[in-house]
A and B are shown apart, each in its own frame.
Chain A
Amino acid sequence: MTCCEHEHERCREPQARARSLAAAEVLTLLLLAAFLGYAWITGRVEKFVAPAYVWMPLAASVLLVLMALGRLMREATHTTDGFGTTCRNAAPQDSQGIQPAPSCACTAHGAHPVRWLLTAALVIPVGLVLAVDPQDFSSQGSRKRRMPAVARDAQLDRAVDWVLGRTARTADTSAARDVPAEPTVLQLAQAADSGQGATWAGRFVTVIGQCDVSANGTQTIELYRLVVTCCVADSQSVGVLVMAPATGCLDPRQWVRVAGVLRWDAPAARLVIEAATITPIPIPAVPYL
């Protein structure tokens, strides 16, 4: 099949550039798919996203492979005549049995630099994550994600009371919930926030978390967990203060199991664990709450 010869020279260079870009894009899609699959197989994904979302990168990996194949097939439906001119395949015979001539436009328009930039933008993070291999936030990184408890929106409460003609708000008198033997750090924080903390005092509990040295002194550590809803970008650090025995925390960010008695710190409106034992443990299968 030969296309119009005057198109040959005009089309040769842009076609070569377009082919390079197409090849790079297909390779990028395959690289990304391979990395997503690899991250899923090795369990790395679980460090980055909540358990409910772990399957999604694998599904994306499969779809990316299919998309790369689709792109390859589209490239294959264009044929060249050996002169660098890109020709569309001949259309089938029409109802009168006449076969239209193959189209002979130069369909390659080169490769826009932005497309190269966007392709590179997908490759660079793969290289970086393989080189750095982050597993967890640094101690300071976790501290930055902490949001201390403060009183709620009193201004709006007053405005609603004014509209409704109420003079005083009634306190929440709901009964204390049962205290679990192994509460999470989040449950302890929620109990304190909801005003139930005092009723939890005196219970012996076992709590798992990572430890962070408190600024208050060597005898206290902060036991914290990250709460992740979708991915680590939305993670929040929740913590509980632990009055530690003399051994204290062995290592910053170390996972530990703390066993001790809960105490209600009324001025700070928070629960504190007076630890009997602090035992180092391996990283749990699901590190996030």
Chain B
Amino acid sequence: MSSFSFNFSDFVFVWWGLLFEAIPFVVVGSLISGIVERFLSRQTVARLFPRRRSIGIAASGCLGLLLPMCECGVVPVVRRLILKGVPPSCAVAYLLASPIVNPLVIASTAVAFYAQHGWMMVVLRVGLGYGVAVLVAAAVWWMLGDAHILRGNEVAPPDQTVSPRRGGWLGDVLAVAAGEFIVVGGTLAIGAAIAALINSGFSREAMLPLAENRLVAVPGMMLLAVALNLCSEADAFVAASFYAFPIAAQLAFLVMGPMVDIKLMLVYTAVFRTRVVLLILGTATLLILGACLASPWWMPLLFAAGHVY
């Protein structure tokens, strides 16, 4: 069987599989974006975020535990938070960490990998995901400071004043959510089409020759994560099925996918400036690649500690 072949019905099947799964999350993300726009003032945002940026980034990386969002739903929320004055670096930390450092994803990873590695894969995924998110956010802070990172010249609108508009606050929230959904949902549909093309056409068996060598397996699984565009709540089950691969390669798949995939690249490009997208994607990819390729030096120690304790 060839490693890639196209079937139109399979393509549409996977495309709508992705859309049926992702659209509800984008709708919820758009509504949260509308709520943030209507009720969260810039003064509140300024009061909520720690003055020390390093603490702000570290705390933003954990925000997914309180406000769990998948990688599709988090984008409109982050965009609105930035418009409301959240520092870009803190927003990037939340953007990248939320699809991994969240209770649903922690639970699904535990279920998928418990039989193979107990809790160790959860620790590895959350630890590396959080670390990469915080380091990428630190890179954004270091290189761009508080510069405007959203595409175009979109700036924060003045805070809403109470006015007798038809529909009241609910109308405002829904109208903002509608506009947000068209932008993020439309981009998602295009990204999901490209993702479905690869997902439906690519044979999983073609990955097997890469499993032998970690130097090839890690980037191979990272590429697969980018190509398959799986939701972070489901990708652990797919990663677990690649048990021919070294754990470092499975870990690379689990951390890379929620941060960088084809549909996300398109959505990021629609929302952020190109320089910011390149910075986020480049830094995240290098950090994940480096950490997973260097796994022989640190992973056995962690596993051994897990056995001892």
Residues on A lying within 8 angstroms of B by beta carbon are 25-26, 28-29, 32, 36, 39, 45, 48-49, 53, 56-57, 59-60, 63-64, 66-71, 73-74, 76-77, 89, 91-92, 114-115, 117-122, 124-125, 128-129, 132, 134, 136-138, 140-141, 143-153, 155-156, 159-160, 162-164, 194, 227, 229-236
Contact = CB atoms under 8 A, between A and B. Distances in A.
11 contacts: A36-B23, A53-B20, A67-B27, A67-B178, A69-B174, A70-B175, A118-B182, A118-B187, A138-B7, A144-B5, A233-B14
Contacts of A66: 174
B230 to A, nearest CB: 5
A102 to B, nearest CB: 12
B196 A70 contact: no
B234 A156 contact: no
Contacts of A49: 17, 20-21
B48 interface: no
A233 B228 contact: yes
Interface string B125-155: 0000000000000000000000000000000
The residue in A70, A145, A160 that gathers the most chain B C-beta atoms within 10 A of its C-beta is: A70
A29 B290 CA distance: 43
B21 A53 contact: yes
A122 B186 contact: yes
B186 A121 contact: yes
A151 B244 contact: yes
Interface string B239-269: 0011111111000000000000000000000
Contacts of B228: 233-234
Interface in B253-309: 270, 296, 299-301, 303-304, 307-308
Nearest to A235: B17
A164 B307 contact: yes
Nearest to B307: A164
B7 A148 contact: no
The residue in A32, A36, A153 that gathers the most chain B C-beta atoms within 10 A of its C-beta is: A153
A122 B234 CA distance: 24
Contacts of A115: 182-183
Given A71-B174, A150-B208, A125 B186 contact: no
Contacts of A129: 12, 15-16
B1 interface: yes
B157 interface: no
B304 A70 contact: no
A233 B116 contact: no
Contacts of A119: 182, 186
Interface size class of B (residues with CB under 8 A): 35 or more
A119 B211 CA distance: 42
A148 B203 CA distance: 12
A231 B17 contact: yes
The residue in A119, A134, A164 that gathers the most chain B C-beta atoms within 10 A of its C-beta is: A134
B204 A145 contact: yes
Interface of B: 1, 5, 7-10, 12-21, 23-24, 27-28, 30-31, 108, 115-116, 163-167, 170-175, 177-179, 181-183, 185-187, 189-190, 193, 195-196, 199-205, 208, 211, 214, 228-231, 233-235, 237-238, 241-248, 270, 296, 299-301, 303-304, 307-308
A220 B106 CA distance: 41
B79 to A, nearest CB: 14
B300 A162 contact: yes
The residue in B8, B181, B190, B246 that gathers the most chain A C-beta atoms within 10 A of its C-beta is: B181
B23 A60 contact: yes
Contact of B242 (A124, A143, A147): A147
Contact of B7 (A69, A92, A141, A235): A141
A80 B243 CA distance: 64
B186 A152 contact: no
A134 B16 CA distance: 9
Contact of B116 (A124, A128, A152): A152
Contacts of B16: 48, 125, 129, 134
Contacts of A48: 13, 16-17, 20-21
A150 B211 contact: yes
Contacts of A137: 10, 13
For the complex of A and B, the 3 pairs showing the least CB-CB separation, nearest first, are A70-B174, A118-B186, A150-B244
The residue in B7, B20, B193, B308 that gathers the most chain A C-beta atoms within 10 A of its C-beta is: B20
Given A143-B203, A159-B299, A236-B204, 11 more contacts: A70-B177, A124-B189, A125-B16, A132-B12, A134-B12, A134-B13, A147-B244, A160-B303, A229-B108, A233-B17, A236-B241
B229 A233 contact: yes
Given A53-B21, A134-B10, A156-B299, A233 B178 contact: no
B205 A147 contact: yes
Contacts of B23: 32, 36, 57, 60
A114 B18 CA distance: 22
A196 B167 CA distance: 63
A93 B12 CA distance: 56
Given A36-B23, A134-B13, A234 B237 contact: yes
